[in-house]
Amino acid sequence: MSTNIISLLCSAVFAISLLGCMEQTGYVTTNESDQVSRLILEKAPAKIRHRVNADLDGKVLLLGYDVKPQKATLGEELEVTWYWECKKSPGAGWQLFTHMVDADEKSRINKDKVGPIRRHFQPEYWRPGLIIKDRQTIKVPTKWGSPTVSLMVGLWKKNERMKIVSGPSDKEGRIKGPTIEVVSPGEESVKVIIPRAPNAPKIDGEFETEDAWKDALVLDDFSHTLTGAQTKFNTATRLMWDDGNLYVAMRAKDEYLQSKYTEHDDELWHEDAFEIFLDPGGDKKHYYEIQINPAGVVFDSYLPRYRKNTNDWSSGVVVKTKIEGTLNDQSGGDTGWTAEIAIPLANLDKGGGVPPKRGDEWKINFFMVNVTADKPVYTAWSPPLRGDFHALDRFGSVVFGPPEAIGKKGQKRDAGPQSDAGTK
């Protein structure tokens, strides 16, 4: 190691000891000084997995970062290492920040003080020539509620952030770090096979005695969205496909038929409704939401990313429903309702996956909203186990098969921990 680098390291350790006097936790120990000293490098690593080269006011460069694992599991930790190079001394008061940002680009959590560099050797003590290995261990909350977590970094003091001269950044003056897919712990994706339709069914709401549906895939016994537990509100769904359409048929048990919505794209989810979510490309964006109420009214929307609904999109869906009882009349006698649906594949053309071929896999989920005299009950084929119908990591998988590849009844996921979050 060169004399110059040794001198820089000695200066760095001295600065650490000075900073330790100001920390609420007390003086920096010898062990902590040694730990931080090992994070000051003689030269930048030859291999940094993700190169950034962001220039902050000509004073500090973010060379890049390493992050693991490649998917973030709810309730577990991410390890991220930022590599900084000091070109000019930043000056008094400058510190590092890290923001955890959701798929809607909203900052959720600050992790500014996580890691030995953040605790004991902030940029105000950096000197030209230093390469800083800034390690952070960041836990993803169990109730994160977003399909991705992004990390944004930079330098700040008081009410300002250091100007980013070049490199990937957002309008808030933050350097863009990794965006990582969020998954639930220990979850295996449901995977079932959709057979091809022997003949196109007649869309009339009366599918249960029609021969075209007899070998369709059956997904039954929807479960509570938050707990995965069974409820008395049984829903069964049938699926099949051909070159033109994805066919869905549904029967719901319902003793309290209620939905006053009558116009296309009304907010059907507030009352009885059957909801279909389709992610043909499986990329957890470019997905579709189609809802049907007992009167056959349709809500349909294309989402280019998580919860970004564009309701001017039209699915072209053909729907017929049949009510077993009297809609919006709670005098009694209701037993349920059915829906028969043809979704044109040609209209699901954003984000890939269309037209499907044999062996292709889509991500998909189904939900039922049941209004009762007390409160709505929410059930799903693949329960999200949190209050979010758009929990894309919880969608199941369907594989498009030939006529002879008749799928067994959809397997249920194990129930997970209960959340008290709202459903919609």
Domains of the chain: 3-183 (2.60.40.770), 191-400 (2.60.40.1190)
pLDDT digit string (tens) for 128-154? Answer: 999 999 999 999 998 888 888 999 999
Give the whole-angstrom CA distance, residue 87 versus residue 181. 34
- C-alpha 32, offset from chain centre: 37
Which pTM does this prediction carry?
Answer: 0.59
Task: Tell me: cis bond preceding 355? Omega within 30 of 0 counts.
Answer: yes
Strand residues in 92-216 grouped as ranges (E)? 95-101, 107-110, 131-139, 148-157, 160-161, 164-166, 175-183, 191-194
Give the whole-angstrom CA distance, residue 19 versus residue 15. 6
Closest CA to 126 of 177, 92, 102, 154: 92
pLDDT exceeds cutoff 90 at 405: no
What region does 352 belong to: left with phi over 0, alpha with psi -120 to 50, or beta? left
Strand residues in 158-232 grouped as ranges (E)? 160-161, 164-166, 175-183, 191-194, 217-219, 223-224
Give the whole-angstrom CA distance, residue 126 versus residue 60. 9
Split at pLDDT 50, 70, 90, the class of 283 is confident
Closest CA to 126 of 200, 26, 16, 31: 16
Give the whole-angstrom CA distance, residue 223 versus residue 233. 9
pLDDT digit string (tens) for 6-36? Answer: 444 445 444 444 433 333 333 445 566 777 8
For 336-367, letters b (16+ CB in 10 Å) and e give: bbbbbbbbebebbebbebbebeeebbbbbbbb
